[in-house]
Amino acid sequence: MQNFILYVYTSLPFIIVALLCLLAVVGAGIGMVRPRWLAYAYMLVFFCMNSTTYGSLSTAGSPGIYTRGSGVLLFPLLFWMMFAFWCCARVSANFQRFPTPPCNLRPWFLAWFLLLCGHVAVGLFMDVKLQDILTVAGFSNIIWMAPLVSLLLLSFRTRDDVVELSRFIMLAGLGRALFGLVRWAIFKGDPNNVYANMNGLKIKLTFFDINDSLLCTIAFAIAAVNLFQIVKTRRGSFWHLVEWATLCVTAMCVVLSYRRTAWIGFVLAGLIVMMRFPMQRRLQLMVLGTPVVGVGLLYAAFKRLGQTKGAHGLSSLFFDMQSKRFGSESERVLELKFAMGDFLSHPLTGIGTWGRYTGYQHISWQANPDGGLFLHSGVLHIALKAGLPGLVLLGGTIFAFAAFARRALRTVSPEVLGVATAGAAGLAFMLPDLLVGTPFPQVRTTQMLAICLALPYVAMAVCREAAVQPVRETNKRGHVNLVPAQARL
């Protein structure tokens, strides 16, 4: 018996390797036939897994799924898995002769990649470790957004696939919101409660991670468009009920997150959704929906901001920008000033992806091994790390997406309009976090942004494919002709 146990323990590593190889083969086979299944599995990780422990009182820390493997593989293991999924989708598309859908973001992502290569060359010349150059605290996460956008474009090829995707996002958002609300109502809410644990505010919140509110917002956008657009699409009563539940539950979850960036972003996303309707329908929704959402936001705002000592009226909205310790300047303002000073000293090149801004030691939350590598402004983060070239690429990427999304929202069919709107609404939601948050050093945030960027392109691609798909027609002599669908319109 002892010899048998010894044999088992000795062979266990080989058994695990064999099982992993078998799993990889099975996954590749699935990816060749149904690449969207792999895309669903990948997105589900980012929809359901929290990415931060900031604000938690727990002292037990772990690398987490979003950083696991980065020490050995330079990038997180999740990125390499997604790249493998993209390879499967690419091979599947080649076998099935599926053309690559157009995407005007490809030149911009290529420019980001070339800029990173330039930083790698300079960093290696300066004897900087490659791991420090490619750190997620730089802008390497932006490059990894490109294969995810391409994966979604290659995986969802028909209108039925995109309708299925919209329902998947709605169900994921509804499930995540219900989890947050139940935990908020019955238990103590999100344990990562920086307001209660560090600021002494007596509030519970649904989710501190901004990405959970982002998921709720894109699910809300899909449900709202499906329910209130003029052209109605055929769907069962079950999905009609799901859309109403998603509309109500996700909005409550965002309001009870008590994140100011989430509140402002949700309002901006709501404006994008409202623009999809005719003027009469907009007025109706404003009359019916604005009081409900407005009352909820005001209640949450007074409950959170009303507990701030020494603040009154609108000034309480910026209470963390006022600190007696530094006179009229808070640590948030000092952080931005320090980073701006370094950017102005290196406007053309930045301080490099590996650089730390001067004076970060004076900021309390920078007292850790990652101190000085990030700051609370996505725009200034790019300016600090990559200089003016990074700012140009950031502005160009956003402008290219906005121009395409504007055209897509006017031309896509009603069945997929919700998906296209959700992508634009998701980017609008993240604008406040882009200005005063830390989106680019976070793996989950950048991949969620990539999902939002991909949605209008996916919706537009299936509409174009349907427009040029040949239709079988029989002439008077009984001969079958293939006529492009757009010629019949």
Residue 233, pLDDT score = 77
421-473 per-position pLDDT tens digit: 999 999 999 999 999 999 999 999 999 999 999 999 999 999 986 665 554 44
Per-residue confidence (pLDDT) for residue 473, from 0 to 100: 47
Q: What would the mean pLDDT of 369-390 be, rounded to a whole number?
A: 91
pLDDT(32) > 90: no
Closest CA to 132 of 86, 80, 217, 74: 74
Confidence of residue 200 (pLDDT cuts 50, 70, 90): confident
236 compared with 149, residue with greater pLDDT? 149
Which of 18-32, 187-201, 357-371, 410-424 has the least mean pLDDT?
18-32
Q: Mean pLDDT, the chain, as a whole number?
A: 84
DSSP state of 257: T
User: Is 60 exceeded by the pLDDT of residue 61?
Assistant: no
pLDDT at 229: 86
Residues 6+ apart with CB under 8 A from 350: 343, 383, 384, 385, 386, 387, 390
The whole-number pLDDT of residue 203 equals 86
* pLDDT at position 486 over 60: no
- Can you tell me the mean pLDDT for 385-390? 95
